[in-house]
Structure 1
Amino acid sequence: MSRPSRLETLPTPALVLDTERLDRNLQRLAARTAMLGVALRPHMKTAKSIDVARRAFPGEPGPITVSTLAEADYFAGYGFHDLTYAVGIAPHTAERAMRLRKDGVDIKLLLDTVEQAVFVGEAGRAAGVTPSAFIEIDCDSHRGGLLAHDPKLLEVAAALRANGVAIAGVLTHAGESYALDTPEALEAAAENERAVAVDAAERLRAAGFACPIVSIGSTPTAHFAKSMDGVTEMRAGVYMFFDLVMHGVGVCSTDDLALSVLSTVIGAKPEKGWIMIDAGWMALSRDRGTAAQRVDQGYGLVCDLDGRVYRDLVVAAASQEHGTLAIRSGSLEPLPDLPVGAKVRILPNHACATGSQHERYHVVSGSEGMVTAEWPRIRGW
């Protein structure tokens, strides 16, 4: 954008990013991982933005995690050459990743089967490069990966060696930590994540396989881990922005949420206790991640233009381009007086999902109300 503008003048819906909160969140986890003695490999799946990446690495590009090869191509083009592609590999993605590796990008893949080891090796030979891959470890039955005690762990390692694929190490993700909400439970999940990953690494080493990297990570466990003994790096992504799910887990306060969607009031039905806005699920996403938590935030929590939360006012319903604001069920708070044309900001349930609905960030700092920049986001796969 050519010159700064006021937040209230933006066409809506618009994605707003508060850099004051972003920087505070970045510094918080960077300091924590430094204290624990592990490298931080931020996951860029939430931000999908070179401008955000440069806030995380103000000096020079550092190690990052990506969730799509579109992200890998994009960040590599800006000098980020130490990448972990933390999604299980398929034949076509292996071939595409090897083209990046041939161009000098140290992209490490993720797999948990002998079949994947075979076709990754084939892709590497076809490209004339040596692939590098993590073996995914299942620490909490959340998704993919092998149990640390599974005999297949050594079978996959042997297949990697036989097919000319370097073993980068082991990688796990404590995804079930998102369902927790007490410090004790989160600390236990973090310790379990660490112990399982280290156990798998030690089993590989005892069998004669190299395991240089022990990579763990989720935003909740990253903030509640007490020990990183045996771990070399931590991955996390949504910590940059935080969201209402992370607030419900107990990792952050609403004052830490850096992302919001600016919306305009377009109508009301006071007899029903409704206020209508121009942000539906196309702007907010359909994510209802807080519905399973102690406090259901609907499709998002409503703030004024300065980011101050209206008590118990949520986006209670969403259709494609309409959102319905209402007071949370059971609350005695009055419906605020928001006339047609008034602007509100919606704090999202899931920052990754809400961000994916938009092409750019409108950048502000704190409650100043000035939009000082527009930062594009990468999309696609």
Structure 2
Amino acid sequence: MSQQATLASVTTTDISLETVETPALVLDLAKVDRNISRLREHLAALGTGFRPHVKTSKSLDVARRLFPEGTGPITVSTLAEAEYFASGGFTDITYAVGLGLDKIDRARRLVEQGVRLSVLIDTVEQAHALVDAAKDGGVMPAVLIEIDCDGHRGGLLPDDQTLVTIADVLAQGGVEFAGVLTHAGESYNARGGAGLPEAAEGERAAAVAAAQLLRAAGHAAPVVSVGSTPTAHFAQDLTGVTEVRAGVFSFFDLVMHGIGVCNVDDIAASVLATVIGHRPEKGWILTDGGWMAMSRDRGTQRHPVDQGYGLVCDIDGRPFGDVIVEDASQEHGIIKVRPGSDGVLPDLSIGARVRILPNHACATCAQHETYNVVDGQSRAIMAQWPRMRGW
């Protein structure tokens, strides 16, 4: 198993948002639980399975909040994640990134350890490589074929006969063909919720059509997997779908807010930073939260409201209004009033602390090794949860 398996969470009662060293990643557990309940209830009403993506949190402690019953099916974006989560008891895992041929042996080792692992392919070459590996008689991962539902990235079109060719190669070579998977990545270009129900239906229809093509050719295709955080929340009909994947929904972020999926108050992750300087002639407040703490992600830059490197809140997470981290260098964040707005720069003394809501939770959290967990409005840090890293 991965060395990441040695990471352990710590319960603490002696540090707070006022004393922890900054910059620090803060996670509001009350919001996490609320966000999870919202999506689980929505999908339960639509009668489909749930396979959440754990790439945002990369944390066993967070993943366990997804499954009150203990563990359940998950999606990962790296084999390091698969190894880490398997070490914590998650044994039904979909690796939802196109399979590199150099990763086949590593994937097989997970299966040897008792993990039900599914890998993703969209070429005949990948299918032949898996069949060649299986010739030694050892265990193999199951295989899903990626479907292109919106031209966003990889995958095959739902009516592409290559789907059948790939399934034929796998079946003839004794490798399990599990079904199809798609991701409506273009849904991230929505604004204010407009077009998201249509994107969700397009995603569903593409996956179902591909599965029907394969079944007509004699392949069972038991798994029909769809999902992105925007479409998962706006889906109105999931007929024919067996499971939904979504990832950033547990934390949300400013991109999801701009798309129209959440409110600012739903954003559970933030970066705590300390004021280290003033430049009143420039309208600047300087903090120790630069792009190493926030990431370089400027995902709202093309939104109607550009949030800079993040939206600035007080230490308790209450937004100041139109105040953002307008610019950043490696270890400096520059707080300003959003250009063109009538906001007012807050009166923050040297040593004051602010919390910054991220553009992209996955990217910002990836800059940190630990979540400082708070519950609701309390400033007490109730626990420190580690995050895994690597590929």
Deviation, 1:127, is 6.6
Cα distance in 2 for partners of 1:335, 1:75 equals 43
Whether 2:21 is the aligned partner of 1:11: answer yes
Cα distance in 1 for partners of 2:318, 2:194 equals 30
Report if aligned partners of 2:325, 2:336 keep a CA contact under 8 Å in 1: yes
Report if aligned partners of 2:57, 2:387 keep a CA contact under 8 Å in 1: yes
Aligned length: 381
Report if aligned partners of 1:262, 1:344 keep a CA contact under 8 Å in 2: yes
Q: What is the root-mean-square deviation in Å for CA atoms of aligned residues?
A: 1.0
> Within 5 A, what are the aligned runs for 1:49-60?
49-60=59-70
Which residue in 2 is equivalent to 1:70?
Answer: 80
Return structure 1 stretches of 4+ with deviation > 6 angstroms: none
- Percent identity between matched residues is 60
> Within 5 A, what are the aligned runs for 1:1-381?
1=10, 2-126=12-136, 128-381=138-391
Q: Secondary structure at the match of 2:300?
A: helix
Q: Secondary structure at the match of 1:9?
A: coil
Cα distance in 2 for partners of 1:154, 1:189 equals 26
Cα distance in 2 for partners of 1:312, 1:56 equals 33
Report if aligned partners of 1:124, 1:131 keep a CA contact under 8 Å in 2: no
Cα distance in 1 for partners of 2:26, 2:106 equals 33
Deviation, 1:379, is 0.3
Cα distance in 2 for partners of 1:286, 1:312 equals 20
Give me the TM-score of the superposition, normalised by structure 2.
0.96
Consecutive unaligned residues of structure 1, counting only runs of 5 or more, are none
Cα distance in 2 for partners of 1:359, 1:143 equals 30
* 1:252 maps to amino acid: C
The superposition leaves residues 150-170 of structure 1 with CA deviations (integer Å, 9 ceiling, x where unpaired) of: 121111111221222211110
Deviation, 1:94, is 1.3
Report if aligned partners of 2:192, 2:258 keep a CA contact under 8 Å in 1: no
Cα distance in 1 for partners of 2:95, 2:243 equals 15
Cα distance in 2 for partners of 1:16, 1:51 equals 14
The superposition leaves residues 254-290 of structure 1 with CA deviations (integer Å, 9 ceiling, x where unpaired) of: 1000000000000010111001000111100000000
Report if aligned partners of 1:131, 1:164 keep a CA contact under 8 Å in 2: no
Q: Secondary structure at the match of 1:165?
A: coil
* 1:61 maps to amino acid: T
Report if aligned partners of 2:287, 2:333 keep a CA contact under 8 Å in 1: yes
Report if aligned partners of 1:98, 1:124 keep a CA contact under 8 Å in 2: no
Report if aligned partners of 1:266, 1:278 keep a CA contact under 8 Å in 2: yes
Cα distance in 2 for partners of 1:220, 1:52 equals 20
Instruction: Name which of structure 1's ranges 147-156 and 80-89 shifts more when overlaid on structure 2.
Output: 147-156
Q: 1:275 to 1:182 in 2, by over 3 A?
A: closer
Report if aligned partners of 2:276, 2:351 keep a CA contact under 8 Å in 1: yes
Cα distance in 2 for partners of 1:342, 1:211 equals 57
Cα distance in 2 for partners of 1:317, 1:127 equals 56
Give me the TM-score of the superposition, normalised by structure 1.
0.98
Cα distance in 2 for partners of 1:17, 1:281 equals 19
Cα distance in 2 for partners of 1:253, 1:227 equals 24
Consecutive unaligned residues of structure 2, counting only runs of 5 or more, are 1-9
Q: Secondary structure at the match of 1:214?
A: strand
Deviation, 1:137, is 0.1
Report if aligned partners of 1:98, 1:123 keep a CA contact under 8 Å in 2: no
Cα distance in 1 for partners of 2:167, 2:159 equals 13
* 1:343 maps to amino acid: R
